[in-house]
Structure 1
Amino acid sequence: MAKSAPVPGRPRSRDAAGLPAVTPDRIIDAALELTARHGVESWTLRQLAGAVDAYPAVIYHHVGDRDTVVTAVVDRVIAKYELPPADLEWRDWWRQFLTNLRLVFMQYPGVARRVALNGPSVQAGGATVDRAMRTLLGAGFEQEEATMVCRLLVSQACLFISLEDDQRKAAEVKDQIKGGWGAPPPDPDLSGLATLTEAVHERLEDPQRNTEYFGELFDYAVDRVLDGVQKRLDEIKGA
């Protein structure tokens, strides 16, 4: 059977068309950029294919399905944060680690939720988990409880970052909060509610304080969880 003739004017290859080669790294780079712009759950495989000037089948061939691509994106994000020095006291280590985690994860909406649900891959998160567990074991936790504490601290931090992701992407959230919790309570006897709504209103009216809200809430949550873990550690050492 005779071969079909090439279509006039159509380049025979990507090279001839002046397009860079499609590689796994280039696909993940493009997926990382889409995640930064839209969030990890808000881009499609077709959009990713368009970003690298290829067909979706090419993505499957080089990397895999969308979930496989997302796993690779999460691994890339995890590789971006720095681990604190190993010689820090356990609480200082965790405080700095979770702060670094937030600064990186908030640049890639949705990644924190994925990590909270599934954890990191062994390839990407192995060194981090090893260091984290060593700090807890060195502080005095037994193996089983150190594992629980590690999971608790990471998941709580990721859940707070996920909340921040969700609220930042909804432009109407500020107005909803201001119209509800930022308004005076209908019953003047609800003094506790009045105190809260006054605080919310003052913050919403102050652009600087409003911008810093998520960071302050995250720091407060981390410190209080660490307080609880420290109390448990004191009980273990005093037993």
Structure 2
Amino acid sequence: MLVQVNFLGEASGCYSGGMQSQSSQSNKARRRKEGLPAITPEAICDAAISLTKEKGLEGWSMRDLAAELDAYVRVIYYHVGDRDAVTSLVIERVLSEVAIPSAASGWRAWFDDLLRGLRDVMRRYPGVAKRFALVGPGGHAARAIAETGISLLREAGFGELSVPAFSLLLEQTCQFVAQEDDRDALPSLRKSAASEYAACAGVPGGMGDLSKSVAHATTSESSLRRYYDDSFDFFLRTVLDGLEVRLSNMRG
């Protein structure tokens, strides 16, 4: 069986023999008899999204997905394709939840709003940010974001640096979120590291100041969340400040 999937999740393919078709028809009949919903690319994506929220993007297998759907693995291949094809659907769905700000506010305010919203959405789906940062979202998934963002940078005067600036902002935001996801997946290690920093809080100088900061941030889950939020705010403002200085130098 050969299946091709585009970024919209639409599947097309060529199938050898009638066995696959007969099996598909039998499965459809069974699902109707048992009152189960039909298997569609959208239903497969829904189930994959649910598993990603629970286990992270890399935390589930095609067998897990089939079990979530109460279907056979081959049915997923029939409707969508392999694991990478399903992952593309998940990333597409996640990005569709990101609100694209109005371009009227200018490039800096636009990226500030977009990237904060992107972080909020991706934090709900562990592992998506790492995949995005490593291999990108795919051409269709980021089209609306890329078209507006790069156009705003060009209009602002970044010229040939518009694409590198856009890539820097998106990739580094995703890297930041990926680190948050990884930290959340290692609670015992974070606790151990916090104890080590707490023990150094009385040391004079830079190490002592750093240890105090980390020890304070890890006193509770809410304080840790505030620490992450403050760190992201500092990161984003600093990168935007740097691009603004670069733009000013280019103009003058």
TM-score normalised by the chain length of structure 1: 0.89
Residues 24 and 206 of structure 1, relative CA distance in 2, 3 Å threshold: closer
Residues 206 and 113 of structure 1, relative CA distance in 2, 3 Å threshold: closer
Paired amino acid for 1:215: D
Report the counterpart of residue 149 of structure 1 in structure 2: 165
Which of 198, 217, 236 is residue 212 of structure 2 equivalent to? 198
User: Which whole-Å CA distance do the structure 2 matches of 1:124 and 1:63 have between them?
Assistant: 16
Which of 110, 127, 144 is residue 93 of structure 1 equivalent to? 110
Corresponding residue SS for 1:87: helix
Residues 208 and 41 of structure 1, relative CA distance in 2, 3 Å threshold: closer
CA contact 2:98–2:121 (8 Å) conserved in 1: yes
User: Which whole-Å CA distance do the structure 1 matches of 2:238 and 2:212 have between them?
Assistant: 24
Report the counterpart of residue 73 of structure 1 in structure 2: 90
User: Which whole-Å CA distance do the structure 2 matches of 1:102 and 1:123 have between them?
Assistant: 20
RMSD: 1.8
User: Which whole-Å CA distance do the structure 1 matches of 2:49 and 2:121 have between them?
Assistant: 13
User: Which whole-Å CA distance do the structure 1 matches of 2:81 and 2:29 have between them?
Assistant: 25
Paired amino acid for 1:93: W
User: Which whole-Å CA distance do the structure 2 matches of 1:126 and 1:39 have between them?
Assistant: 24
User: Which whole-Å CA distance do the structure 2 matches of 1:20 and 1:208 have between them?
Assistant: 40
Percent identity of the aligned residues?
A: 37
Report the counterpart of residue 116 of structure 1 in structure 2: 133
User: Which whole-Å CA distance do the structure 2 matches of 1:23 and 1:222 have between them?
Assistant: 39
- What's the CA shift for 1:80? 0.5
Superposition pairs of residues 52-63 of structure 1, within 5 angstroms: 52-63=69-80
Report the counterpart of residue 8 of structure 1 in structure 2: none
Report the counterpart of residue 82 of structure 1 in structure 2: 99
Corresponding residue SS for 2:59: coil
Paired amino acid for 2:171: S
1:141-176 CA distance string (max 9 Å, x none): 11x210100000111100000000001122213312
- What's the CA shift for 1:108? 0.3
TM-score normalised by the chain length of structure 2: 0.85
Gaps of at least 5 residues in structure 2 are 1-27
Which of 214, 221, 233 is residue 247 of structure 2 equivalent to? 233
Report the counterpart of residue 26 of structure 1 in structure 2: 43
- What's the CA shift for 1:189? 6.8
Report the counterpart of residue 3 of structure 1 in structure 2: none
- What's the CA shift for 1:206? 5.2
Shifted more, 195-204 versus 53-62: the winner is: 195-204
User: Which whole-Å CA distance do the structure 2 matches of 1:192 and 1:106 have between them?
Assistant: 31
Report the counterpart of residue 4 of structure 1 in structure 2: none
- What's the CA shift for 1:12? 5.5
Which of 208, 214, 229 is residue 215 of structure 1 equivalent to? 229
Report the counterpart of residue 138 of structure 1 in structure 2: 155
1:15 aligned onto 2:32: yes
- What's the CA shift for 1:209? 2.4
User: Which whole-Å CA distance do the structure 2 matches of 1:167 and 1:189 have between them?
Assistant: 25
Paired amino acid for 2:210: L
Shifted more, 11-20 versus 113-122: the winner is: 11-20
Higher alpha-carbon Rg:
1
User: Which whole-Å CA distance do the structure 2 matches of 1:24 and 1:12 have between them?
Assistant: 18
- What's the CA shift for 1:227? 1.1
Paired amino acid for 1:30: A
1:45-80 CA distance string (max 9 Å, x none): 000001111010111011000111001100100000
Shifted more, 60-69 versus 12-21: the winner is: 12-21
